């Protein structure tokens, strides 16, 4: 399965979905002009990956900001991951937030309540 990599811009996050290297990450700012169009390759890739996932999928979110439209797409991604877990595959969500960003930490906890997936919450200092 070919990896998907979308380079970040001022308004969109870095996306890396790489089965071979077991790397699944969305990081940066997410406020693309057309959020559905931006995230369509992500959800399509994950839908294909669901059919034959790796032994363990650790999906990392390291967002510093996302808009309301992006929040719906993040939930859609989490629901695809939840479907994989329900099918018996090992899936973990790693939610990374700046130590000083209580809003993003709270967002991770809210997402954790919405889906039946194990979450790891981590904080980090500004790089």
Total tally of structural domains belonging to the chain? 1
pLDDT in tens, 14-70: 999 999 999 999 999 999 999 999 999 999 999 999 999 999 999 999 999 999 999
**Taking the model in full, what pTM does it have?**
0.96
- The pLDDT-based confidence of 127 (bands split at 50, 70, 90) is low
Tell me the average pLDDT across 108-125: 97
- Give the model's pLDDT for residue 7: 98
> Given 3-state DSSP classes, what are the helix, strand and coil percentages for the chain, each rounded to the nearest 5?
40, 35, 30
Closest by Cα among 42, 60, 50, 53 to 96: 60
Residues 6+ apart with CB under 8 A from 31: 11, 12, 65, 66, 67, 69, 70
- Average pLDDT of the chain? 97
- Give the model's pLDDT for residue 126: 77
Parent domain of 88? 4-124
């Amino acid at each position: 399965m070919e990896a998907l990599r979308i380079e970040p811009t001022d308004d969109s996050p870095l996306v890396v979905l790489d089965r071979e290297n077991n790397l699944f990450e969305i990081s940066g700012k997410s406020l693309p002009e057309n959020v559905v169009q931006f995230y369509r390759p992500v959800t399509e890739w994950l839908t294909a990956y669901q059919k034959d996932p790796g032994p363990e999928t650790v999906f990392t979110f390291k967002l510093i900001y996302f808009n309301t439209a992006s929040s719906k797409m993040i939930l859609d991604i989490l629901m695809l991951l939840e479907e994989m877990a329900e099918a018996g595959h090992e899936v973990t969500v790693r939610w990374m937030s700046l130590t000083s960003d209580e809003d993003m930490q709270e967002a991770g906890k809210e997402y954790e309540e919405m889906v039946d997936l194990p979450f790891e919450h981590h904080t980090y200092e500004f790089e």
